[in-house]
Amino acid sequence: MEQLTTIGLNHYLTISAILLSLGLFAVMTRKNAIVVLMGVELILNAANINFLAFSKYNGGMEGVMFALFVIVIAAAEAAIALAIVINIFKIFKSVDVSSIDSMKE
Amino acid sequence: MSNPTYTFIFYLFAAITVFSAAFVVFTRNVIYSAFSLLFTFFGVAALYVFLSADFIAVTQVVVYVGGILVLLLFGVMFTNSIMQTGQKSEVTLIIPGTLLLAGMIGALLYTFYTTHGWMPSETTLQGSIVERIGFETMSRYVLPFEMVSILLLAALIGAAFLARFDKSGK
């Protein structure tokens, strides 16, 4: 009971583990490329929670700075990935990642 | 930190985050996934506030909800016909996926709760850290900061170049 009511590092790590697993599940089982991207965003958020939790309980600033950079990289990744998905849709008329099997038109 | 209100609010936001993330993953409708992702991002931002990273929480709301989620919704609407009501996403490899999900959660939680190795420092982060982020950005992390800004500029120009419509044809 003490462990449940006093919020500590393990609580954040638990949420992060669940988000990471759900993201991996989405990446693995979905055929729609955009839902796969959403899974990647969930994984990045899980990593960020871990960075910030360790940073808080360590007292340093390294995790906070890393989390900021992760957010920037996630923004760049989402923009590029959406551009690629739109191009794939123009060429193949579908965003089903399991049916896209050729590199040329 | 064993204030009951604090604990209750923490569990509330944790539940919002986890259940909306589960809904993102398990619903078959792409639009529902995208809107459920909104609640996940807000829940994660609230958890960042609990971790005394208020600046990161605001950045999360601005960048993820204001930028990435809008991009994802644009992607959904570009790649599906709007008139088509059931925009289902097909599922593949469901049994290995479920095994991976259960195994991953089980293994990670087992490791976290059976290793009593975490030794928190006496000086945890307290209060607002905006000022310290400013100092760190301009002193220790000035090179990564500049590099990431150039990377973001290049990535956005590249994305705009890739996604534009062809001048020839159509």
**Among A13, A42, A82, beta carbon nearest to B75:** A82
Amino acid letter, B54: D
> Beta-carbon neighbour count of residue B108 at 10 Å?
17
Per-residue pLDDT tens for A44-69? 999 999 999 999 888 888 889 999 99
Structure tokens at A21: 């697993």
Evaluate if residue A94 carries a pLDDT over 90.
Answer: no
Give the whole-angstrom CA distance, residue B114 versus residue B107.
11
Q: Are B76 and A34 a contacting pair at CB < 8 A? A: yes
Of B9-13, B83-87, B159-163, which has the strongest mean pLDDT? B9-13
pLDDT at B84: 60
pLDDT at B2: 64
Q: Does A91 touch chain B (CB under 8 A)?
A: no
Q: Which of A70, A61, A15 is nearest to B44 (CA)?
A: A15
**Among B2, B34, B159, beta carbon nearest to A5:** B2
> Beta-carbon neighbour count of residue A102 at 10 Å?
7
Name chain A contacts of B97, Cβ cutoff 8 Å. 25, 28-29
pLDDT at B167: 59
Could you please state the CATH topology (level 3) that the domain comprising B4-86+127-163 is classified under.
Four Helix Bundle (Hemerythrin (Met), subunit A) (1.20.120)
Which whole number is the average pLDDT over B8-30?
91
Q: What is the pTM of this model?
A: 0.88
The CATH architecture to which A2-92 belongs is Orthogonal Bundle (1.10)
pLDDT at B144: 92
Average pLDDT, chain B: 84
Evaluate if residue A95 carries a pLDDT over 60.
Answer: yes
CA atoms A55, A60, A63, A65: torsion sign: positive
pLDDT at B28: 83
| pLDDT bracket for residue B1 (50, 70, 90) | low
Q: Are A7 and B1 a contacting pair at CB < 8 A? A: yes
pLDDT at A2: 66
- Three-class secondary structure assignment of B18-29: HHHHHHHHHCCE
Q: Which of B121, A40, A26, B146 is nearest to A48 (CA)?
A: A40
Per-residue pLDDT tens for B109-133? 888 888 776 777 777 777 778 888 8
Q: Indicate if ipTM > 0.95.
A: no
The domain ranges of chain A are: 2-92
Q: Are A7 and B104 a contacting pair at CB < 8 A? A: no
pLDDT at B23: 92
**Among A28, A33, A35, beta carbon nearest to B100:** A28
Cβ atoms of A62 and B125 within 8 Å: the answer is no
pLDDT at B170: 47
| Closest-CA distance of chain A to residue B146, Å | 11
| pLDDT bracket for residue A16 (50, 70, 90) | very high
Q: B11 forms bridges with which residues in the sheet?
A: none
Per-residue pLDDT tens for B87-105? 566 777 788 888 888 998 8
| pLDDT bracket for residue A72 (50, 70, 90) | very high
Minimum CA–CA partner of B75 in chain A:
A82
Q: Which residues contact A97 (CB under 8 A, 6 or more apart)?
A: A31, A32, A33, A36
Minimum CA–CA partner of B8 in chain A:
A5
pLDDT at A105: 64
